[in-house]
Amino acid sequence: MARVAPSRNGLVTLSIPLTQSKVAVYAAFALNGLLFASWVSRLPDVRSALELSNGQLGLLLFAASVGSIGALPFSGRLVERFGAAAVVRGGAVSVVAGLVVAALGATTIGWAPLCGLGLLLEGGGMSVWDVAMNVEGAEVERRLGRTIMPRFHASWSIGSIAGSAIGIPMAALGVPVLVHMVVACVPAYLGVLWAGRRFLPVATHADPTPAGERRASAWAEPRTLLIGVMVLAYAAVEGSANDWLSLGIVDGYHQPHWVGVSGFALFVVCMTLGRLVGPLALDRFGRAPVLWTCAAAALAGILTTVYGGHLAVAGAGILVWGLGASLGFPVGMSAAADEPRRAAARVGVVSTIGYGAFLIGPPLLGTVGDHVGTLRALLVIAALMVPAALSVFAARPPAPQRG
């Protein structure tokens, strides 16, 4: 049972075993990834049921992006007011409701606007859930005294792999999309409820802002904005592989579709591996040297993938690219939450900037790809490793304040 426990710096909490909280955060990340992949795995069925072109499907999916970006600026405030556990639960309700409505609109009723409304709910729920679990993960990491955030993000990847693996037989057997979403959402939501009860209790921190003085917005903090730039660059490096890598292999190397999918699978495996082992390097060498190495690896990997000239060389490039893309995003979340008093607000700002890559990236690369080819369009992402490397300084832990 939890009990009241005083601590330093004006912090009052209820004592909950840290191991339980760590497992709960792993579960929150994995379940988020599972639900995301469950929907993505049925997109071909959604396109067929609504008789959409690729462009129309892209417009429909844009509703999820609008919901996501629209909710992000408010996510930090919600976490500050209600706590991470409550916001994760609320986000999960929105995601579950959104997926069910989207499936209902796409297949059972066959009305695209209803599907879009569901995706709007799903996107907003994903955003607030994401920010809240990152804030909770950063607090668990801080109390453990060692780096673990990349492993939480690896858990998301593992959950998405599981969601895709379940979606393959569901699609092959012709299971209705609505039934699939209900089967995925009900146990996932129960898992979220279980995890939320094991999150660290809401903590009360002494506010150092003098009485009568208005606290500055996190949007006005140069360090927070620079971390956001870094996260945006790494999000683009990851997101471009999600959207375009398989197509780039198919178009650029004239390979069948399964080879392109295999290339993307290699990327996901390498990125997940990097997130599992990366904390060892971060604790030993520090954030800046490791992130500079990641930026160099991502740059080299993309260039090798594009200019390799042979599929085997491109495969080596994908391997290096995946490792290079693995740590920037989770370390950016940790850096934004270095100081617990402003963690939620800063993670919200960094997430809003970073997720802009998922909103802007697909249409940008699509337009460039129409002119230079799908594979060479990825060079735009390689160029982002320059601002990523320059903004790494901001991710270093702040110097302890003397008092």
How does DSSP assign 72-106, residue by residue? Answer: HHHHHHHHHHH-HHHHHHHHHHHHHHHHHHHHIII
In order of 35, 82, 130, 173, 319, the CA distances from 92 in angstroms are 10, 15, 10, 27, 33
Of the chain, the percentage scoring pLDDT greater than 90 comes to: 56
Q: What is the torsional sign of CA 126, 136, 353, 247? A: negative
Average pLDDT on 375-395 reads: 91
Nearest C-alpha neighbor of 52 from the set 99, 100, 103, 110: 110
Helix ranges restricted to H, 241-327:
246-253, 257-285, 287-307, 311-324
pTM of the model: 0.85
Written as six digits, the tokens of 94 are 């929105």
Q: What is the rounded distance in angstroms from the CA atom of residue 366 to the CA atom of residue 369?
A: 5
Q: pLDDT by residue (tens digit) across 191-224?
A: 999 999 999 986 544 445 544 445 678 888 999 9
pLDDT score at 255: 86
Among the listed residues 287, 273, 278, 302, the one whose alpha carbon sits nearest the alpha carbon of residue 231: 287
For residue 14, what are the β-bridge partners? 4
- β-sheet bridge partners, residue 12: 6, 204
**pLDDT confidence bin for 8, thresholds 50/70/90:** very low
Backbone angles phi, psi at 13, to 5 degrees: -135, 175
Summarised one tens digit per residue, pLDDT across range 332-378 is: 999 999 988 888 889 989 988 988 777 777 667 777 878 888 889 88
Q: What is the mean pLDDT of residues 157-162?
A: 90
